Amino acid sequence: TGEIRKHDQSVLQRGGSSLIVYDCTRQSTFDAVLTWKNDLDSKVLLPNGEPVPCILLSNKCDEPKDGNLSNPSFLDSFCKQEGFVGWFDTSAKHNINVTESATFLVKHILETAERMNVHVPRTNDRLKITKDGQKTCKDTNCCL
């Protein structure tokens, strides 16, 4: 639960999106999701004041799940109510839905940038999200 506090706020502020991962075999990790989401939303906003896009990842989908953590209707409703842009069952161990969830998030970022009229130039096969053609950060570590 306290692991997000280990991250330097400046790192969080450079993010254009986020994902929150919990262990679907342990209810206690899901119970911490809202603490993480509220912390994120209180520290990082898009230039228009909206929270950064965030998806919820239910990790260890290849193992028996705990309670509602396997219920798609529950997770759909939870994500809508709490401001997540979506959720995925994943397994980092078996590479299940890892690429799909990242692709979903990147597509959402690009749609959000387009809606906000933010210029997204391509440089060296990397995306640099800028507003009015200006870099939003000073180092290249913020690029996708």
Element (H, E) at 55: strand 54-59
Given pLDDT bands bounded at 50, 70 and 90, which one contains residue 44?
Answer: confident
Query: What is the Cα–Cα distance from 87 to 4, expressed in whole angstroms?
Result: 19
What pLDDT is recorded for position 119? 60
More confident residue, 36 or 143: 36
Mean pLDDT of the chain: 77
Given pLDDT bands bounded at 50, 70 and 90, which one contains residue 5?
Answer: very low
Average pLDDT over residues 128-135: 50
pLDDT of 53 over the 80 cut:
yes
